[in-house]
Amino acid sequence: MSRYKLIIEYEGTRYSGWQAQKEARTVQGEIITAIEKALNTNEFELYASGRTDGGVHAIRQVAHLDAPTKLEPIRLRIQINDALPADIHILAIEKADSKFHARHDAVARSYLYQISRRRSAFGKRFVWWIKDELNVQKMQDAAKLFVGLKNFQSFAPDEMESKSPKVMIENIQIKEHGSLILIRIVGSHFLWKMVRQMVGVMAEVGRGKMTSKDIQQFLQSKSDIPARFTAPPSGLFLERVYYKDDKRLDVLEPVLKIE
């Protein structure tokens, strides 16, 4: 068996998330089918750094592949890409140490969310269009409350109660770019729908319908309010997966420019 590290980009619009499912079309499922065609075998294992929900995109998802092949990475990448649909693409493949694990070795992840201030003919699949006026300064102030090791019990579904809701948020950046409001959230890991609920709550603050005090309350005691304002998956991108010594992104730029 050889171990490879894969860097993958995909548009999640047509898929029920990353995780392979018997009755649904998924990103992992499509990649598994492509690898089977490329290697003419199903004797391999594919592990990602983490799951993405249905409709969520990825700019640089990371996975590792254990496969019985001696193919050079460039040839393997070409053969897998040839068998993939147009909305999934392997950006890079490299040989990896046998101990490398895409999920267990990751020390942080960053997500990018794009809110559009206007209706777009081209960007509907990649933004959340909010018609209301948003106060970006209030959103930036509210974002600071999430930074640090916090209890995100109000931003996790009830079925997650068996897992710790504590998450370390390294940084949140919010920036205006043309007609877009860009939100980057960097954290140790993320609970199911957590990022989308954080964005939804910050948008409510921007609308003037919530305050920073509300966020403080959500972080202090369990509430089902954030779930009511879950942002749509269309605007969300898994931006980066960080490993030891990886430098964090600094410049915040949109995936799709909307002026």
For tokens 């579904």, the residue is: 157
For tokens 């492509």, the residue is: 34
Residue-wise pLDDT tens digits, 21-57 = 988 999 999 999 999 999 999 999 999 999 999 999 9
Tell me the two tokens of residue 254: 């949109």
Residue-wise pLDDT tens digits, 222-245 = 999 999 999 999 999 999 999 999
Catalytically active residues are: 53
For tokens 């964005």, the residue is: 199
pTM for this model (two decimals): 0.95
Distance between CA 62 and CA 136 in Å, rounded?
A: 32
252 exposure class (CB count in 10 Å sphere: 0-12, 13-18, 19+): middle
Residue-wise pLDDT tens digits, 54-106 = 999 999 999 999 999 989 999 999 999 999 999 999 999 999 999 999 999 99
On the CB side of 74, how many CA atoms lie within 13 Å of its CA? Answer: 0
23: CB partners within 8 A, 6+ apart: none
Domains and CATH numbers, the chain: 2-95 (3.30.70.580), 108-242 (3.30.70.660)
φ and ψ at residue 132, rounded to 5 degrees = -70, 150
Asked if residue 84 lies in contact with residue 158, where contact means CB atoms within 8 angstroms, the answer is: no
Beta-bridge mates of residue 93? 6
Tell me the two tokens of residue 155: 């931003």
pLDDT-based confidence at residue 161 (cuts at 50, 70, 90): low
238: CB partners within 8 A, 6+ apart: 50, 52, 56, 57, 58, 59, 60, 61, 109, 111
Q: Give the CA distances from residue 133 to residues 91, 210, 223, 225, in Å, rounded to whole numbers and listed in that order.
A: 37, 14, 26, 21
Q: Pairing mode, if any, of strands 236-242 and 57-67?
A: parallel
Q: Pairing mode, if any, of strands 57-67 and 88-95?
A: unpaired
- What SS3 class is residue 39? helix
